[in-house]
């Protein structure tokens, strides 16, 4: 999507006016519209009506919109991020909301049982621009080995809530509520359907996974509605109690018991000890811009790296967040902790470390935003991010070797100031880049 594509946005809105959550056929038509417009930032009103989001509509019916972009490897998550920006959230709010939504709509790569890392570039409380930082929250190995299907320590919720608490503007509950709603009923996206085809019967051997993804004995198809009531309850607990709802006290004890029932081998101490970590990015210079990147994973020659997913946001003040997540294996251990809805990530003792590839480029003097990229595609993730960033900064397009993919937000005029020059693109054909104004 090299262009801005906002004319298509208006067309999508008008063609789906009056969209109803109760009307399955019209929901599928809207999902098809989203698929056609994925990467163009389109179907804004359609998405709000489709997924039950608050679109900030005025009495006249017009949708209030602010400048900003949300990009994710699954469309419903991108729409959640866009909605967060429209409700006054900044890039941290939008990215956190996208991450929680992906835990519902793309648990194969971004479940609550997994983890990830983000590059964050936001202003401080006084509005002064700051240099980027990295927040690392990988799904790490537990202290001891145990269980017949060893799980990683779940870190996604802890990382997202840590980021939102430090940088966000909205109440913490605001970044969880959209995911909680989606857990009550979401559309099976093309991205998740493709991952289900890869794992096939191996995943559906787990009764919890089969109940979610093949409730009638057959794997759900693209566009089907699926519910995750146990996951909705877990998200509600996080919304009400914060991280303590999962990582401390009775919440931690109950989760560990459920994880062990699924062969995870986790302990309460594992949950208490695993905390997100802020650290400096890897700094470099490219085409006259400063670049802050996630640290690369240690070399792992000859090994197929785990699948990952990406999401990012840019707000009206030039604040930006770009994140990459993984379950350390497609669908992690392939087992859901009973009663929690949480698909457990695989212990990194059994699998290679995922490649988290993301970067933000900015003007070194003014700290104004220039571009953000995130690379996925297993062993080609770093190459994808590098090629995409170079293309964004020099204004040329270079091919990305498959299976590498890159999500991009690029603002040649820089932000704040040159918002009209901005474009965004989802690297996955199943993803969505959506912008306003």
Position 231 scores a pLDDT of 98
- Position 123 scores a pLDDT of 87
Instruction: Please give the pLDDT value at position 6.
Output: 24
Residues with Cβ within 8 Å of 350's Cβ and at least 6 positions away in sequence, in order, are 150
Whole-angstrom Cα distance, residue 412 to residue 428? 23
Q: Report the chain's C-alpha Rg in angstroms.
A: 20
The pLDDT of residue 10: 27
Q: Quick one: pLDDT at residue 127?
A: 81
- 145: its two tokens: 């080995």
* Euclidean distance between CA atoms 205 and 244, whole angstroms: 32
The full set of domain ranges for the chain reads: 6-436
Beta carbons within 10 angstroms of residue 317's beta carbon:
17
Query: What integer pLDDT is reported at residue 47 of this predicted model?
Result: 39
Q: What is the mean pLDDT of each run of 10 residues along the chain (437 residues)?
A: 28 28 33 34 35 38 77 98 97 98 98 98 86 97 91 98 97 98 97 94 94 92 96 98 94 97 96 95 98 91 93 97 98 97 95 95 96 97 97 93 96 94 95 89
Task: Give the pLDDT of residue 437.
Answer: 63
């Amino acid at each position: 999507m090299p262009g801005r594509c906002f004319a298509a946005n208006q067309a999508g809105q008008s063609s789906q006016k009056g969209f109803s959550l109760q009307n399955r056929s019209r929901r599928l038509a809207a999902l098809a519209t989203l698929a056609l417009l994925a990467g163009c930032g389109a179907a804004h009103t359609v998405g709000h009506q489709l997924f039950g989001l608050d679109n900030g509509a005025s009495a006249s019916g017009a949708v209030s919109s602010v400048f900003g972009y949300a990009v994710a490897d699954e469309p419903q998550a991108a729409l959640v991020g866009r909605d967060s920006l429209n409700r006054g959230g900044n890039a941290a709010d939008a990215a956190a909301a996208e991450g929680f939504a992906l835990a519902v709509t793309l648990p194969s790569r971004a479940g609550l049982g997994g983890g990830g890392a983000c590059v964050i570039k936001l202003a401080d409380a006084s509005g002064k621009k700051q240099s980027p930082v990295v927040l690392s929250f990988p799904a790490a190995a537990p202290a001891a080995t145990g269980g017949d299907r060893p799980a990683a320590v779940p870190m996604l919720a802890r990382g997202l809530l840590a980021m939102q608490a430090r940088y966000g503007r909205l109440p913490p509950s605001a970044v969880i509520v959209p995911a909680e709603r989606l857990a009550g009923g979401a559309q099976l996206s093309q991205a998740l359907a493709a991952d289900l085809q890869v794992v096939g019967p191996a995943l559906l051997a787990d009764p919890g996974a089969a109940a979610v993804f093949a409730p009638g004995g057959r794997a759900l198809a693209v566009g089907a509605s699926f519910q995750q009531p146990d996951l909705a309850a877990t998200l509600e607990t996080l919304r009400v109690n914060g991280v303590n709802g999962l990582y401390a006290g009775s919440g931690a004890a109950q989760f560990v018991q459920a994880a062990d029932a699924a062969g995870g081998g986790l302990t309460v101490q594992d949950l208490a000890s695993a905390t997100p970590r802020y650290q400096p990015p890897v700094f470099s210079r490219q085409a006259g811009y400063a670049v802050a990147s996630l640290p690369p994973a240690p070399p792992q020659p000859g090994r197929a790296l785990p699948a990952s997913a990406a999401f990012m946001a840019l707000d009206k003040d030039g604040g930006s967040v770009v994140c990459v997540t993984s379950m350390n294996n497609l669908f992690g251990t392939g087992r859901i902790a009973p009663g929690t809805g949480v698909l457990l990530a695989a212990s990194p003792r059994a699998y290679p470390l995922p490649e988290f590839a993301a970067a933000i480029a900015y003007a070194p003097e003014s700290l104004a935003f220039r571009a953000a990229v995130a690379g996925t595609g297993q062993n080609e993730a770093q190459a994808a991010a590098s090629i995409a960033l170079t293309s964004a900064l020099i204004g040329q397009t270079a091919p990305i070797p498959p299976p590498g993919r890159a999500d991009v937000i690029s603002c040649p005029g820089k932000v704040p100031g040159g918002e009209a020059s901005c474009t965004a693109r989802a690297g996955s054909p199943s993803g969505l880049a959506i912008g306003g104004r």
